[in-house]
Amino acid sequence: MDYKVFSNRIFIRADRGEDIMRIILEICRMEDIHSATFHGIGAFGQVRVATYIPEKDDFLDHEKEGMLELLSLDGNITHDEGGQIYEHAHAMFSYLDEHGEICFFGGHLKSAVVSYTAEIVIDPIPDAGIGRMTDPYTGITVWNLH
């Protein structure tokens, strides 16, 4: 992994075998970033995404291995009252099935291991940033904008 800061934006190159979500959190900790947005593209070999199941108040994991092109990665970094940072990301991947047909796979991104490279941009949010709070109606954590 390598990264460089340009005008308050962080450009990351992730290398083979690295988990992109761990790298994003690691860089945010090193650069003292408590709130940010991020996006990216790349090629991955192992991916785990999840779908939220409201009736169970839990996520259902889906895993995929092979040549997975990251078509879209969008996410954010927020923090709790104690300063602990959290990531929330969604991603969409494409791959070829056993018949050579293009397929798509995506959801709430939990992990993604790079197979070739990934290029990610982090845009830090200045000042106090965005915190997290529990939504009293749904019971999930959401942005605290106050």
User: Given this model, what pLDDT does residue 127 score?
Assistant: 78
Global pTM exceeds 0.85:
yes
| 93: CB partners within 8 A, 6+ apart | 44, 47, 64, 68, 69, 70, 71, 104, 105, 106
User: Given this model, what pLDDT does residue 65 score?
Assistant: 96
What is the C-alpha separation between 43 and 10, in angstroms, rounded? 20
User: Given this model, what pLDDT does residue 126 score?
Assistant: 84
What is the C-alpha separation between 95 and 84, in angstroms, rounded? 35
**Class (C level, CATH) for 2-144:** alpha beta
- Sign of the C-alpha dihedral, residues 89, 72, 56, 111? negative
What average pLDDT does the segment 18-41 reach?
96
Measured at the CA of 87, the angle between CA 86 and CA 92, to 5 degrees, comes to 165
Compute the mean pLDDT over every residue in the chain, rounded to the nearest whole number: 93
Domain boundaries, the chain: 2-144
CA neighbours closer than 13 Å in the CB half-sphere of residue 130: 17
